[in-house]
Amino acid sequence: MSSEEAELARVEALIGKILAIGTYGSACVLIFGFVLSLLFPNQPDIQAKQLLSFSFYLNQLLGLQAQAIIYTGLFLLILTPVLRVIVSIWSFAKEKDWLYVGITVVVLIVLLSSFVYGMYE
């Protein structure tokens, strides 16, 4: 196996680990939040826009508020493909494949701008 093939295999393994950890991690957090919501059904509702305040969000998490934990699980799930795209940019740049770096940067910009748009919509 050449060094290029070995490097490609390492990058693919890293991407696989990111996807697995992100998916399983977010699933665990979501399940924990769901169980809390079943155990404590009378917790106050939290609007997603309230979580834009970091101090409010942190207080809700430390207070084990189910909705804040569920939002955290969803955030981790959304973050997973973003990390995959970032690793792809790094991989393409390392290979000096500038066309794919450019394409992947555009994909990252579209992803991030859609998240920002969704937060304020």
Query: Model confidence over 107-118: pLDDT tens digits?
Result: 999 999 998 887
**How many angstroms separate the first and last alpha carbons of the chain?**
50
Tokens of 40: 């404590």
Could you tell me the pTM of the whole model?
Answer: 0.78
d(CA 50, CA 56): 7
Asked if pLDDT for residue 48 goes beyond 70, the answer is: no
d(CA 43, CA 46): 9
Q: What is the mean pLDDT of residues 62-78?
A: 90
One-letter amino acid of 41: P
Q: What is the mean pLDDT of residues 76-99?
A: 91
